[in-house]
Amino acid sequence: MNQTAQNTVSGNQIALPSADGQPAQKSRNLRLLESLLERPASVPTPPAHPSSPDVTVDPVSPEPAKRGWLSALKTRHMAIVGGFLALVAVPAVVSTGYMTFVAADQYHSFSSFSVRSIEAAPSSDLLGMFTQSSAGSTISDSYVLVDFILSERMVQMVDEAFGLDVVFARQGMDFFYGISPDMPIEDKLAYWRGMITVNFDQTSGIMDIQVKAFSPEMSQKVAGFVIAQSERLINDLSLTARNEVLKTARDEVQTAEDRLTQTRASLRSYRDASQEADPIEGAKLAAQLIGSLEEQLVKLKTELSTALTQMSANTPRVRVIRSQITSLEDQIAQERQRFGSGVSGKGGRSTGQATDVAGRIALYESIQTQNEFAERAYTASLASLEKARVEAGAKQRYLAVFIKPTLSQMAQYPHRLLNPLLVTLAGLLLWGVAVMVFYNIRDRH
C-alpha cells in the first residue's frame, strides 16, 4: 500500500515506512532528537517555527558518572579524616595492643601507720575525746615523713639496699613501665614517685603507702624497707629533739653554777680581807662596845666629881680617875672614828676597797645580793633541767604500724581497660578541639 499513515501525538507528526520500503518524511522533532544524540557536545539551536513549541535540552556532563562519590570529598574532609586516624584511631589501637600483649603485670603492697607521741592529749568532754588526738601534735613530723619517703634520699637508700635497676627492670618488651639502666637520679626520683603512693589524713593522722613492683614479694620487701627507714627517721628526730632540750637545760645549769661559784668566791675573798663573817653584826658589836665605854665613862666622871668634893685635885685617886676618863674618851673616839671614817688604829681591819664600817656593809650587801640571786638561779635551772628531762621523755615520737605490708595474690596494675579508654578519650578531645579551631578560622576568613 502506498499510503502514509499519520498519527498526531501532542501536535507532532511521526512518519511510518511506506509499502515500497522507502521511509516517509521524518518530523522536525525526531530529527532534532537524533541530532542531539549524535552530537552531545554542541547542541544547535533549531530555527523558530510558528507551528511547533521550543524545546530546550540541558547538556549532560559524563564526568560525575566516572568519579562517583570521591568527587564529593574535599581537601578539608580528607584532613579531618586523617586527623581522626592519627589522633584517635592509631593511639587507641596502639595503647590497646600494648596493654593487652606487652605491658607486664604489677603488684602492690599496702601499709598503714601513724606517728604517735607518748604523752596523752587531755580531753575535757566526750567530744574532745574524738576531736583531740595525740596525732595533732605530730602533724609536722608526719609531713616531714611524707617528704622523706618521696625524696632523693629514699631513692638512694632503696637503690643501695635492693638496686632500682633490679627491682624495676624492664619485663620483656615492656619499655614504658620498666626503668632503664644508668638513669640520672632525677629520672629515678620521678620513676619512684610513680611507683609509690603516699596519702596522709590530717584529721586522723593516719598515713597510707602503696608500693608497686613486678612481683608481689618484691613490693612487700620494698614497702617494709620504707617503713623501717621511716621509723628510724622518727626515732632520730625524737632523739635529736630530746638531746637539744636537755642540752639547753644543762647549759643553763652550767651557767648558773658558774655564776654561783663566782659570787661565792667573791664573798669568801671579802671575808678573808675583812676578817669578819658579817659586817652588819660587826657594826652591831661596835655600837654595843661604844655604848659600854660611854657607860663606863659616865661612871668615872661621876666618881671624879664625888672624889673632888672629898679630896683635893692632886691626890693620887683623883689623878687615877682622870687618867681612866682620858683613856675611855680616847678609846671611844677611836671606835667612833673607825665606825665613821674607817681609819683603823692598831689591830684595825680593812677589805682593800672600803675600810669603814659603812663601806664594808655596802660592799657586803652587794656581794650577798649577787650570791643570793645566783643561788636562786641555780636552783631554778636545776628544776628546769629536771622538768625538761621529764617532758623530753614524755614527748618522744614513735611510728605505730597497724597494717603491715601486704602480699598481693593478683596483679592490680596496669589498668588494661582504663588506660586505652583514657587514651581514646584524650585523642577524641584533642581531635575535636582541632576541628573546632579549624572551622572557626575558616568561618572568620
Model pLDDT for residues 404-435, shown as the tens digit of each residue: 999 887 777 777 787 788 888 988 899 889 88
Tens digits of residue pLDDT in 187-201: 889 989 988 999 998
Q: Which three-class secondary structure state does DSSP give residue 106?
A: strand
| Mean per-residue pLDDT, 19-41 | 60
Tens digits of residue pLDDT in 353-404: 555 666 777 777 888 888 888 888 888 888 888 888 877 766 677 888 888 9
Predicted pLDDT at 283: 67
Predicted pLDDT at 26: 59
Tens digits of residue pLDDT in 121-159: 444 444 343 334 444 467 888 899 999 999 999 999 998
- Indicate the domain borders of the chain: 1-34, 95-247+402-444, 274-343+351-392
Tens digits of residue pLDDT in 222-263: 999 999 999 999 888 888 878 888 888 888 888 888 888 888
**H helical segments located in 68-180:** 75-84, 90-97, 126-131, 139-149, 152-161, 164-167
List the beta bridge partners of residue 269. Answer: none
Q: Judge if pTM exceeds 0.85.
A: no
CA nearest neighbour of 158 among 236, 237, 234, 219: 219
Predicted pLDDT at 329: 80
411: CB partners within 8 A, 6+ apart: 105, 106, 107
Task: Work out the number of other CB atoms within 10 angstroms of the CB of residue 437.
Answer: 10
Tens digits of residue pLDDT in 100-120: 777 777 888 999 999 887 764
